[in-house]
Homo-oligomer: A and B are copies of this chain.
Amino acid sequence: MSKYIVAVVGATGLVGQEMIKTLEQRKFAVKQLIPLATKNSVGKKVKFKGASVPVKETKDSLFNGVDLALFAGGGTASQEFGWEAVRRGAVVIDNSSFFRMRPDVPLIVPEVNIKQIKKHQGMIANPNCSTIQLCVALKPIYIKLGIKRVVVTTYQSVSGTGKEAIEELQTQVKTIVAGKKVKPAVYPKQIAFNVLPHIDKFMENGYTKEEIKMVNETKKIFSDPNLAVSATCVRVPVYTCHAESVNVETMKPLSVDALRALMSKSPGLTMIDDPAPTADDPNRRTYPLSVELAGTDNVYVGRLRKDPSVECGYDMWVVADNLRKGAALNAVQIAEFLF
């Protein structure tokens, strides 16, 4: 079996670390791991298969001989080193939003559109975390019933922002418990005991960049520019897992039970949706929860119900670990298809 030299850019960040962990857990055939980051991280080491591997500063020359480069160092690193890594022979799977909408860069969710990977020219983009889980949940509905319109509202965890956001939530909670006032730094406003309808910067049409990403990336992944999507993205004081309230209007009808059965067979998707509550125990009904699903691989759907406000429509609740399926795992799954 061939073995590969794998570089991870942004190796000390939350997603980079999750990528390295995922490569090891999934036994990806790594001959050599090259963890790269900014100058500030030089001197740090990352753990991989029991060894401590020193982090190097990202430089063009370090991509010589690299087979696979996983980029999780943000848009700036991807812009500066992405195509250079490709020129030096690596296949790049990029987690930033920088190349996602380029026509020459496939945007891949393996369970949804792996066929589009054939068109790649060395660079493959990993979609936004909130987009990936939405697309995995929509796929079986799209194929079986056709989708007219999606209205999605998110509950996104702070780990999507990075380590410093996790620390900010922890610090704010402790500060408030101690009866003191918080000073937001990572987020524009207090995140503890609050919800923020503001992720990434505002665009001219009033949507945030995060919302626009969800809309445009979903259209690209389904190769369907006419797919109607409306998104509202909200940060919540949860550490890991994004949750989404999704309303789907379909072209054709199907009973909820049949749709649930169909979705439960869809790859990468697990239904947590016990459909049989009892009168004396209404809490018997199950549904996916962020705190219970952190660290797991699949996309989880629950609370599936027929929306009576349209002829054919459904409401559902979609949860996934934003660092795993929403980022690192999806990237490694793409790599597994390639190598």
Contact = CB atoms under 8 A, between A and B. Distances in A.
Contacts of A193: 237-239, 291
Contacts of A238: 193-195, 237
Q: Which of A177, A292, A305 has the most CB of B within 10 A?
A: A305
Given A202-B277, A306-B205, A153 B245 contact: yes
Interface stretch (A102-110, A261-269, A308-316): A308-316
A247 B205 contact: no
B290 A195 contact: yes
Contacts of A285: 198, 202
Interface size class of A (residues with CB under 8 A): 35 or more
B151 A289 contact: no
Interface string A295-312: 000000011111111100
B173 A206 contact: no
A26 interface: no
Interface in A274-292: 275, 277, 282-283, 285, 287, 289-292
A150 B153 CA distance: 13
A206 B274 CA distance: 10
A245 B197 contact: yes
A314 to B, nearest CB: 10
Contacts of A170: 177
A149 interface: yes
A114 B331 CA distance: 56
B232 A197 contact: no
B155 A195 contact: yes
A269 to B, nearest CB: 17
Interface string A207-221: 100000001000000
A174 interface: yes
A183 interface: no
A298 to B, nearest CB: 18
A243 interface: yes
A315 B230 contact: yes
A201 to B, nearest CB: 4
23 contacts: A149-B309, A151-B151, A153-B153, A153-B245, A170-B177, A177-B177, A190-B291, A194-B238, A195-B243, A195-B290, A197-B245, A197-B303, A198-B285, A198-B287, A206-B304, A207-B315, A229-B309, A230-B309, A232-B315, A234-B243, A236-B236, A237-B238, A245-B245
